[in-house]
Amino acid sequence: MIDSYNYAFLDEGSKREIRRSILKAVAIPGYQVPFGSRELPIGRGWGTGGIQLTLSLIGPGDTLKVIDQGSDDSVNAVNIKKFVKMCTDVPCTIHTKDATIIQTRHRIPEVPMTNEQILVLQVPIPEPLRIVEPQEEVTKKMHAEMDYAPIWLQLYESLIKYGKITIGSEYPCMVEDRYIMNPSPIPKFDNPKLHNSQCLYLFGAGREKKIYAIPPHTKVVSLAFDDIPFEREDFAGKRCRLCGSTDTYLDEIFDSNTGERYYQCSDTSYCKEVRSR
Amino acid sequence: MAYVAVSGGEEAIEASIRLLEYYRSGTDKDLDLEVIKEKMGLLVDRVMSEAGLYSKAYAALALKQCEGSSDEAVFLLRAYRSTLKRDYETLVADTEHMRIVRRISAAFKDIPGGQILGATYDYTHRLMNFALEKEDAQGLRDRMEQMIIEQTPVQPEPCTRVSEELKKEGLIDSYEENNGQPFDITQNLLEFPASRSARLQTLSRADTGFLSGLAYSVLRGFGQVHPTVGELRSGYVQLEVPYLEEEGESLWIGEIMLTEVEVFNEADDKEQLKLACGYGAVMGRNENKAIAMAVLDHELDTEGNYPAQNEEFVLLHGDSLEMNGFISHLKLPHYVTFQSKLDAVRKTRRKEHD
Amino acid sequence: MKLQEVPVLSVRGLTVRYGDGCPQCQDSLEKNRCPYCGTVWAANDISLDVYPGEVLGIVGESGSGKSTLMQSLYFDLEPTQGKAYLENYCGGKKNIWEASAAEKRHMKNTIMGMVYQNPIRGLRMDYSSASNIAEKIIAAGSRNAGQMTERAKELLEAVEILTSRMKEAPRNFSGGMQQRVQISKALANNPSLLLLDEVTTGLDLSVQARVLDLIRKIKAKYQISILLVSHDLAVVRMLADRTVVMLDGKIIESGLTDQILEDPQHAYTQKLVHSLL
């Protein structure tokens, strides 16, 4: 820990301001709360929204886990951990169940989380309506009036054209029948974990200066037509070559020597735990 | 795949940082901060302006630290700024009393207060000066100091802006004076429609290249075309903060170099014409940026469908830190999202073959 | 025509004015502009009724105010004053121009259908034809994709477009086809009133004839009321049961179409009828 900077980098006033925005976000699930995003030593677009949430919440007694693509060792995760270690005295872990705060990019861990834990997600584009409307002034009105027809139309158009809904990650959800929300670029595989969960989910977008939240026991429904059920990524017939799991999100890997294609768990710490059982 | 998917991220990053040090070690000569500050003045000015932090010493340090990349230097300064408490806010700085080092008008030959050409590369021939390959720095410094000593100092006079005269004639539109608390873009999310103070702050901090390119598009026909530079002035303005012990008193805390520009455009006024004014003000001697800002300020007041007339387009895409952060994030692993995309692509193809 | 029926649409005193107006305005207008204050009276105290199952034609030159009337009815511009009632909105008891944004959207999606002269205004050129129709159905609240597709097929057939082309975007269609897609889109939610604004202007004569013939079939098939605006008396003569003649923002004459053709009262109407013969 370096003494020349404040605990958790940001000054106390900034941290308090961010915590107030978090409270508002928790009070209105799925609603994007604007906040005065601060610049960090880490690039905008590299998780600065999530980091600001983590920095404003973290304190002695916390244990932090950071993952990127499900992996604790990925460059970006390592980089963020290094930064938090530099400005706090908080220990880091790779074990999901030991962490009080988990910061993540693109995945929700496979181990279900408890009401003692907060999952902080990094968000590049918080606005779920951005794919149908570029102007912020317009999307704000659309949310206010629940004018969500354009995004449903987008889904319908992909059905007509390709016979399938073609959104991959960042699959939009309806929160408590009120706000359509971007769950961040997690795969559709992880969307159901948002519904009626035990833990608090916080979403931070640093560049776009928005915070939103899904508190425990919130109704979160992935958008789907009445006659066409929501479909997750399909790993039927595939299993992790390391731990043998068939119920996890898998990374597809090419062996450059043999040209062979195989699969392994994207959540690396879960994979290790299964193997050690 | 080796550098992330499984493990070893930490070692890879450390090695990468060592390699950066290696790149900075290309010669055994040190890059003296004073040299950057005093001899790379325009680069320092650009970095300070885009960072929104006026400190030549820190700007020089930042440039040294990142091999002279202007966007990395802006990044370092901005991040440092986040750790600083804001104790005071300065009083409104008065550019009429600017200690002017350069002032020109492309609209009138003679302006009250006079034109001062000052230092400009505009009228140099851009020929490589090979004499600088081996320059006598000490000799240059001595000659310049001698030249300054031989000049007789003149007391600077306050200088009203060229637009004041036109305002008196009623020819020019002006915004009403507004001394209310400005919107602070460093502490709030920009909202649309943006207030004028938010617009000007955003433009003033924006990336120089972005503003220049957009302003250029306006001049080339994707906009209101060819404005006239009513006035461009560079110089030092004095900064003061309220003195808390005594009501109405203030404390002088220093001076900063600014470049301020007004451009004039023709505009409709019912069945006659009037002039409309665009305003630009940036830290340091960033003349083209200040002019571009003034062009865009006016363009944003104009209705139309060109990119430079779209407030959200102009104000949301010009921040050096934001644009470079988001572009560089594309280098981060996207294995999970790409897997998901791949799954969607495969599913549609499977259907096709059925 | 039984005129004692309850009108589908009633307009009373619609006025759209650009400028503040002045005391001299009403007595001294030159065309529709006041020479003293420069105010333009684009629509000047217009009142009319449309009855169930009838086609009401509005004829007039450009600047007569007919498009201003249509745009006001479809909420594309806000009238300066006046009232309008739709039978299917609050039982015809509430002025539609005082409705909330959400109510107006509802009226545009379900009670009225609009076909613009320029198809770019009425269509999403890059979405499939099926999606163009589905957009309206989604906006009306349906979330059943299969039903949307069935309805899209049925409507495309009704406007004589092969259902095999429903995946294609209107951008690739001819002008006449684009107008037919617009008509099918306008009919998506079985509206009680169809607004047709110069729908055949700019089309080749043979294409024009086909679109007009189609409108006649649509009217017979769906028993829908139509408000038809055209600068061309020949178009109005072919379709309209009753006709209103507009000039300089005002209604100068109205009556059964045959009656107006046989015995025009106003000098302008006489000129119009004469030029037709």
b vs e for A228-267, b when ≥16 Cβ sit within 10 Å of the residue's Cβ?
beeebbebeeebbebbebeebbbbbbeeeeeeeebbbbbb
- The verdict on residue C88 lying in a domain is yes
Asked which of A41-50, B263-272, C197-206 is least confident by mean pLDDT, the reply is B263-272
Q: What distance in Å separates the CA atoms of residue C35 and residue C53, rounded to the nearest whole number?
A: 42
Catalytic residue among A87, A92, A173, A265: A265
pLDDT, mean of residues B177-204:
92
**A109 touches B at CB < 8 Å:** no
Cα of C109 to nearest chain A Cα, Å: 11
- The verdict on residue C25 lying in a domain is yes
Q: Are strands C225-230 and C193-197 parallel, antiparallel or unpaired?
A: parallel
Please confirm, yes or no, whether A13 is among the known catalytic residues: no
What's the start-to-end Cα distance of chain B, in Å? 34
Q: What distance in Å separates the CA atoms of residue A109 and residue A249, rounded to the nearest whole number?
A: 10
Tell me if B340 and A188 make a contact (CB, 8 A cut-off): yes
pLDDT, mean of residues A128-151:
93
Is the pLDDT at B51 greater than 50? The verdict is yes
Q: What is the pLDDT of residue A253?
A: 85
A→C interface, C-beta within 8 Å: 145, 147, 149, 152-153, 156-157, 159-161, 225-228
Tell me if A36 and B10 make a contact (CB, 8 A cut-off): no
Residue B246, both tokens: 């005594």
Residue B7's pLDDT band, with cuts at 50, 70 and 90, is low
- The residue among C123, C126, C135, C150 with the most chain A CBs within 10 A of its CB, best to mutate, is C135
- The verdict on residue C201 lying in a domain is yes
pLDDT, mean of residues B277-301:
96
**A234 touches B at CB < 8 Å:** yes
Asked which of A238-252, B105-119, B183-197, C95-109 is least confident by mean pLDDT, the reply is B105-119
Residue B354's pLDDT band, with cuts at 50, 70 and 90, is low
pLDDT, mean of residues A160-186:
94
Nearest to C76, CA basis, from C117, C40, C36, C47: C117
Q: What distance in Å separates the CA atoms of residue C245 and residue C238, rounded to the nearest whole number?
A: 15
Q: What is the pLDDT of residue B171?
A: 85
Mean pLDDT score across all residues of chain A:
94
Tell me if C131 and A156 make a contact (CB, 8 A cut-off): yes
pLDDT, mean of residues C131-139:
96
Instruction: Write down the domain spans for chain A.
Output: 12-128+173-222, 234-277
Please confirm, yes or no, whether A199 is among the known catalytic residues: no
Catalytic residue among A87, A92, A199, A271: A271
Please confirm, yes or no, whether A87 is among the known catalytic residues: no
Q: Are strands A261-265 and A250-254 parallel, antiparallel or unpaired?
A: antiparallel
**C104 touches A at CB < 8 Å:** no
Contacts of B83 in chain A (CB under 8 A): 5-6, 9-11
Q: What distance in Å separates the CA atoms of residue C228 and residue C67, rounded to the nearest whole number?
A: 10
Q: What distance in Å separates the CA atoms of residue A203 and residue A214, rounded to the nearest whole number?
A: 8
B156 or A266, which is more confident: A266
Mean pLDDT score across all residues of chain B:
90
Report yes or no: A142 and A110 within 8 Å, Cβ to Cβ.
Answer: no
pLDDT, mean of residues B241-252:
90
b vs e for C183-203, b when ≥16 Cβ sit within 10 Å of the residue's Cβ?
bbbbbbbebbbbbbbbbbeeb
Q: What is the pLDDT of residues A198-242, one digit of tens each?
A: 999 999 999 999 999 999 999 999 999 999 999 999 899 999 999
Q: What distance in Å separates the CA atoms of residue C142 and residue C130, rounded to the nearest whole number?
A: 15
- The verdict on residue C2 lying in a domain is no
Nearest to C129, CA basis, from C74, C188, C201: C188
Cα of A156 to nearest chain C Cα, Å: 7
Which of the residue ranges A251-260, B114-123, C40-49 has the most confident prediction, judged by mean pLDDT? C40-49
Cα of A177 to nearest chain C Cα, Å: 14
Q: What distance in Å separates the CA atoms of residue B126 and residue C255, rounded to the nearest whole number?
A: 80
Residue B200's pLDDT band, with cuts at 50, 70 and 90, is very high
Cα of A116 to nearest chain B Cα, Å: 27
Is the pLDDT at C181 greater than 60? The verdict is yes
Is the complex ipTM more than 0.85?
yes
Q: What is the pLDDT of residues C89-108, one digit of tens each?
A: 999 999 999 999 889 999 99
Number of Cβ within 10 Å of residue A207's Cβ equals 24
What residue spans of chain C are helical by DSSP H? 25-28, 66-73, 101-106, 119-122, 129-139, 145-158, 175-186, 205-222, 233-239, 257-262, 267-276
Q: Are strands A200-205 and C242-247 parallel, antiparallel or unpaired?
A: unpaired
- Residue B282: strand, helix, or coil: strand
pLDDT, mean of residues C55-61:
95
Catalytic residue among A87, A173, A199, A240: A240
Q: Between residues 63 and 102 of chain A, which touch chain B (CB distance below 8 Å)? A: 68-71, 73-79, 82
Q: What is the pLDDT of residue B154?
A: 83
Element (H, E) at B219: helix B208-219
Asked which of B238-242, B262-266, B267-271 is least confident by mean pLDDT, the reply is B267-271
pTM: 0.83
- Residue A43: strand, helix, or coil: coil
Report yes or no: B262 and B277 within 8 Å, Cβ to Cβ.
Answer: yes
Catalytic residue among A30, A70, A87, A204: A30
Tell me which CATH homologous superfamily contains domain A12-128+173-222: Bacterial phosphonate metabolism protein PhnH (3.40.50.11310)
Is the pLDDT at B5 greater than 50? The verdict is no
- Residue B324: strand, helix, or coil: helix
Contacts of B341 in chain A (CB under 8 A): 168-169
Q: What distance in Å separates the CA atoms of residue B268 and residue B266, rounded to the nearest whole number?
A: 7
Range of the domain at C253: 9-276
Tell me if A160 and C135 make a contact (CB, 8 A cut-off): no
Is the pLDDT at C3 greater than 70? The verdict is no
Is the pLDDT at C253 greater than 90? The verdict is yes
Report yes or no: A231 and A188 within 8 Å, Cβ to Cβ.
Answer: yes
User: If you compute the radius of gyration of chain C from its CA atoms, what whole number of angstroms results?
Assistant: 19
Q: At what angle do helices B70-81 and B41-51 cross, to 10 degrees?
A: 50
- Domains in chain C, number: 1
Residue B352's pLDDT band, with cuts at 50, 70 and 90, is low
Size of interface A-B (CB pairs under 8 A): 173
The CA–CA distances, whole Å, from C90 to C7, C49, C102 equal: 14, 17, 14
The CATH number that applies at residue C268 is 3.40.50.300
Q: What distance in Å separates the CA atoms of residue A44 and residue B262, rounded to the nearest whole number?
A: 33
Nearest to B103, CA basis, from B258, B308, B304: B258
Q: What is the pLDDT of residue B1?
A: 35
Residue B316's pLDDT band, with cuts at 50, 70 and 90, is very high
Q: What is the pLDDT of residue B353?
A: 54
What's the start-to-end Cα distance of chain A, in Å? 35
Q: From C138, which residue of chain A is nearest by alpha-carbon distance?
A: A149
User: A275 CB contacts (<8 Å, ≥6 apart)?
Assistant: A242, A243
Asked which of A268-272, B308-312, C18-22, C237-241 is least confident by mean pLDDT, the reply is C18-22
For residue C112, with 0-12 CB atoms within 10 Å meaning exposed, 13-18 middle and 19 or more buried, which class applies?
A: buried
Phi and psi of C33, rounded to 5°? -120, 135
Q: What is the pLDDT of residues B157-178, one digit of tens each?
A: 888 888 888 888 888 877 788 8
Q: What is the pLDDT of residues A51-84, one digit of tens each?
A: 999 999 999 999 999 999 999 988 889 989 999 9
Residue B195's pLDDT band, with cuts at 50, 70 and 90, is very high
